[in-house]
A and B are shown apart, each in its own frame.
Chain A
Amino acid sequence: MELISPTDFAKEKVLAVQEYALLSAHAIANLFRQPRYFADIVQQADFIGFGSLPIVVLTGFFTGAVLALNSASTLQKFGSLTLIAQLVSVGMVTELGPVLTGLMIAGRNSSGMASELGSMVVTEQIDAMRALGTNPIKKLVTPRVVSTVFMLFFLTIISDLLGLFGGAVISHLVYAIDWHQYWTSAWQALAFRDVFTGLVKPLLFGFIVSTIGCYYGLSARGGTQGVGRATTQAVVAASVLILAVDLFATKLLMAILGNR
């Protein structure tokens, strides 16, 4: 392998960030320009939304269930097992629902977008599209961003609900907590800021998943191997970025909305 100097390496990274920022800006700017590709948006939404439903449902359910199981054993020591519903509900809605759904969609769709667009790059289909007078960012990237943001929002809500349900099942079956009591306290535990935080995050994550997937796809070089590399890098980058942005978004929203 060829060694590159640290300055070249740094330049390369800065350039990549700049290109990524440009792509994201264009993707958003194209929302306000004709033509708008509604058919492509719907097609992507169907693929991302309904296609991801099974994994989101399963992730939500099992996370909620295991969250209940883990916290129950701690809560039991302090004799406050009734708090279990509140713990599950706040934990799911503010943190685990958005982050895990985001990570799942990153694994499924960042990679999908990177490999699809990457293959189009290496087989000159992107050049062909430009040659035919169509802007590939408008035609390919913008619809993916729009539908991912939109769908991740709803998928997260589904995941939250399934998480609460998973917690309820465990609480009821293992700890014999009353069904009705669980749902009442789960509902009452949620303040406006929890719900707000939990619904802002999927918007950010959806944007990250789609723009990162498209960016790595469009910058794929070097044949099938390059496409494979772009795919893996997209998943890694999107996942790390989701976790990092989650931290900052949480801190920022806390500062704005006040601590619990």
Chain B
Amino acid sequence: MAAPPIAIELPVKFSRESASPVIVFENVSIAFEDKPVLDGISFKLAKGETKAIFGVAGSGKSTLLKLALGLIKPDSGSIYVLGEDIVQKSEEELFELRRKVGIVFQESALFDSLTVRENVAFRLLEEGHISESEIERRVREALSFVELENTVDLFPSELSGGMRRRVAIARAIITEPEILLYDSPTAGLDPVTSTTIVELIVKQRDVYKTSSLLVTHRLQDAFTMASHYFDPKTNHMQPLPPAAIPDVPICFLLLRDGKIIFDGSVKDLAESKDEYIREYIS
């Protein structure tokens, strides 16, 4: 479908400089059994921005997301999430903060003894004071967001891998968190399903203005996100005219040997002279 020529009201009026950062990594290092995985990395995620994180397998991308949630603690450095220093916080204090952050794990990590409904509703059920009809309504809403309304009574083992990913997304977004962390949401999926998931992420970005870290192996997915916007009228994403592309709130971060070797916009990435980067994006 071709883009409507002029009438686009750009969904994203975004300026990186004015937006306050929601996640800040300062000189963060972590090693597993004496093997350094992340070595003094620093970056910022601005409010409303999506940061696509790349790197070869084992370069520490999942580790980075787990650090951002305080699931593991760094050996050194500071991490701030929504202005709070999470390295110093106790696990009990982190539970509060984590309610404002959603995560989609690499392997989905759905609770396999709970149904799809109970999985998606998990956070609401834990809150304890939300009425059953309200929970049911929000579960339906979250599942319709990922187009899986008819799976509510199934168990995760009865779903396909791509469906599980989408249930995991529904579970992460149900409380409308301020930050979303996606770990390889399109890995190992067919092009059609992965486009559906990319569309969901773009929708979350453009409709709900959620800030997010997105780990992916597929450069092409990130480029799609950088060049499309979500049109609520057609409920699909639409390509942007080239002139509007620099305004899309997405940037790229490339990890190599525990260091950040690139952190910048699509344009910078395309113009990079670094040989490794050229090879990576080709």
Contact = CB atoms under 8 A, between A and B. Distances in A.
A194 B39 CA distance: 63
Interface in B107-122: 107, 109-112, 122
Given A35-B128, A133-B126, A135-B91, A124 B109 contact: yes
Contacts of A135: 91-92, 95
A134 B99 CA distance: 9
A125 interface: yes
A125 B112 contact: yes
A132 interface: yes
Contact of B95 (A125, A127, A133): A133
Interface string A135-151: 10000000000000000
Given A123-B109, A124-B107, A127-B71, A132 B98 contact: yes
A131 B123 CA distance: 10
A119 B112 CA distance: 10
Contacts of A35: 126, 128
Contacts of B103: 128, 131
Given A131-B71, A132-B123, A125 B96 contact: no
Say which size band chain A's interface belongs to. Answer: 10 to 19
Q: Is the interface of B mostly helix, strand, loop or mixed?
A: mixed
Interface in A2-53: 35
A133 B100 CA distance: 9
Interface in A153-185: none
B69 interface: yes
B91 A123 contact: no
A51 B128 CA distance: 29
Contacts of A251: none
Given A35-B128, A124-B105, A134 B95 contact: yes
A133 B105 contact: no
Interface in A95-126: 119-120, 123-125
Nearest to B72: A127
A81 to B, nearest CB: 54
Given A123-B109, A123-B112, A125-B112, A130 B71 contact: yes
A69 to B, nearest CB: 44
B155 to A, nearest CB: 13
Contacts of B96: 133
Contacts of B138: none
B98 A130 contact: yes
Contacts of B128: 35
Contacts of A131: 69, 71, 98, 101, 103, 105
A119 B171 CA distance: 20
A43 to B, nearest CB: 11
A199 B105 CA distance: 46
B16 interface: no
Interface string B58-102: 000000001001010000000000000000000110011011010
A127 B91 contact: no
Q: Sorted from nearest, which 10 A-B pairs have the closest CB atoms?
A: A128-B109, A124-B109, A133-B99, A133-B98, A133-B95, A131-B103, A134-B126, A35-B128, A127-B71, A124-B105
Interface of B: 66, 69, 71, 91-92, 95-96, 98-99, 101, 103, 105, 107, 109-112, 122-123, 126, 128, 171
